[in-house]
Amino acid sequence: MIELIQFKRLFIITLMVIATCPATAQWIGYPTSDVPRLADGSVNMEAPTPRMANGMPDLSGIWISDNTRPGEPTPSDGFSLSSSRLMTNMGADMPDGLPYQDWLIPIVKEHTDNLAINDPHIRCIPDNFLRAYGLPHMLKFVHTPDLLVVMNEMNAGYRQVFLDARALPDDPAPSFQGYSSASWSGDTLVIETIGVRNDTWIDWNGSVLTEQAKVREEMRRLDYGHLEIKVTVDDPAAYTKPWSVTLKQRLVVDAELIDEICLENERFVEHMNLPY
């Protein structure tokens, strides 16, 4: 009986797909070049890692979260957006959760209990890069030998990672993405970031980074279609000890960014009668 219900559900959705397929717009569906494919035409996500002329892994591409929920499809097309199961709680896979300092515990509890109605994301504040890895918005990596630029279609945001291993600033003016410098360790790009703003939300529960945060990302393109980012956060102002989480990204092909400028017509705060 359950199978019958599931089949009916899928059948209805299939009909909806048929109804929506004919329309195309802008560069949606524009074919990505040099995509390795299997015999059945699907993207060979396990094909070898693309490399730059200098032999290093090429991180370029459009990426979406691959920290999926059990059983969730992981398409590589540009028509669907997935979000991370860690989007709500960055410490969801940690047995004891994130090691919050005492002052942060009641704040996270309040945000969790009230379903994050005070989330700065809702008020159109830019998302920090850690959070962006998990939200259902496409990220476009543009990789040159000296610079990695990450473009976020949400609020048309950007992040720069300098690949010349430059020294991080001594007294940085805090910014939403901080200051990022990187170098290669074998095929792993090691990115060090400091200088983010206080109260930078990294998940829906209101876990934060502070100005004291040092964030290390060990970024590896495992194959053609998968990016793995081991993140280590050392932020003694917010956490009792450093913690690590592995964030995964999946390549999407035949896709392009489409701006989502939040300030245009955000109505959540108005509809909920909340203060700005």
> Does 217 help bind another protein (rule: CB under 8 A)?
no
Rg (CA), the chain: 20
d(CA 132, CA 157): 10
Short-list 161, 137, 134, 135, CA closest to 150: 161
Short-list 201, 207, 175, CA closest to 123: 201
Which parts of 121-150 interact with another protein (CB under 8 A)? 121-122, 124, 135-136
The single residue among 38, 94, 117, 142 that binds another protein, judged by CB under 8 A, is: 117
Phi, psi at residue 172, to the nearest 5°? -70, 140
Short-list 256, 251, 255, CA closest to 64: 251
**Least distance from another protein to the Cβ atom of residue 70, Å:** 13
**Least distance from another protein to the Cβ atom of residue 24, Å:** 8
Short-list 177, 249, 242, 241, CA closest to 220: 249
**Least distance from another protein to the Cβ atom of residue 234, Å:** 29
The one segment of 53-61, 71-79, 163-171, 222-230 that binds another protein by CB under 8 A = 71-79
**Least distance from another protein to the Cβ atom of residue 109, Å:** 15
Residues in touch with another protein (CB under 8 A): 10, 13-26, 28, 72-73, 75, 77-83, 87-88, 114-117, 119, 121-122, 124, 135-136, 153, 204, 258-262, 264-268, 271-272
